[in-house]
Structure 1
């Protein structure tokens, strides 16, 4: 998973990243989505 100001969704797609988030707060939501919310709520 990558993200932040220096990278874009396009770049994440090009390198095969599992996820991309433009901001740290969005990264948490994306990680929950990738792992399944039930895993992180335990």
Structure 2
């Protein structure tokens, strides 16, 4: 049971890490677009 719980925890952490990296990249793209629009305006 302990090993399965550890595997579940690691899987959840990996999933959360992927979601966080996706959100971080999305925020970076939005910030970049806003900066371009601000500089162009």
TM-score after normalising by structure 1: 0.32
Greater relative contact order (Cα < 8 A, sep 6+): 1
| Larger proportion of helix | 2
| Larger proportion of strand | 1
